[in-house]
Amino acid sequence: MTIPGFGDSVEITNAEYAQFQQLIHKIAGISMSDSKRTLLVGRLGRRLRHYKMSSYSDYYKLVTGPTGKQELQQMVDLLTTNETYFFREPRHFEFLTNTILAQHPPGQPFNVWSGASSTGEEIYTLCMVLADKLGAKGNWSVLGSDLSTQVLSVAEKGEYMLERTRGLPPAYLNKYCQQGSGDRQGYFTVNADLRQHTKFRQINLNQPIPEIGKFHVIFLRNVMIYFDNPTKRQVVSKLVSKLHPGGYLIIGHSESLNGLTEQLTVVQPTIYKLP
């Protein structure tokens, strides 16, 4: 129910929208265009209703004030969460299987980082591919990171509604997932023997990357479309520093690193390799 005078019924001024544009760019490096105004109002309007606020200026004061740290994280969660699903852009997973893993020395560790893992579908897609190729008890690991703590908590549980099986082959659903019963009917959970290979961590790509080791493959898909070119260059440089020699960086099909780095070579569109 909409409370008259609050939330969705409140219009955002140009000056207020500009404040949030600058804030989300400062925190996450995201360049939020004017076309995203409706998205911002739709997602933050509920927070205005929650606090019974009558202006976006009041909400801005809250999230930037001394007591607003928790609400600021809530705001970031709302503005940075994007759609994801299992085996999204399947050609990448085919390349991982048929080229990268096929060339990897047997028995050697294999580490992957999903740099924008959202609610975890990409993480567990990777787990299924790696378990298929290297064995469920093989020497491999997948790190999932995101700016949003909310989506990371979902990812860590590895439990999804059965309606969320978009892209997931039935054979994988049967082999690597357990369908719920009782009060969990209508849900499925990724098997524990796959989840034990995963770790989750909040990482802001717009800040210095913490010590997380190095990786044979980094997935950062459908994220850099929201960055301006200076931010893209900085992020790519940080990612390259976390790759093993010969490692791969895989980005989304609507993205390109053209003109952003000389450290990586193009293997095919959206797939880059560190020599």
Which residues are known catalytic residues? Answer: 43, 146
| Cα–Cα distance, 226 to 40 (Å, whole number) | 14
Q: In the sheet where 159-161 sits, what is the strand order? A: 159-161, 187-190, 177-179
| Phi, psi at 71, each rounded to 5° | -70, -30
**Token pair of 234, please?**
């900085």
| Cα–Cα distance, 168 to 202 (Å, whole number) | 26
Contact 166, 86 (CB under 8 A): yes
Contact 180, 106 (CB under 8 A): no
Q: What angle do the packed helices 56-63 and 14-28 form, to 10 degrees?
A: 30
| Cα–Cα distance, 229 to 51 (Å, whole number) | 36
CA distances to 55, 156, 240, 247 from 264, in Å:
46, 31, 8, 10
CA distances to 96, 145, 160, 205, 228 from 138, in Å:
16, 22, 25, 29, 39
| Cα–Cα distance, 143 to 215 (Å, whole number) | 9
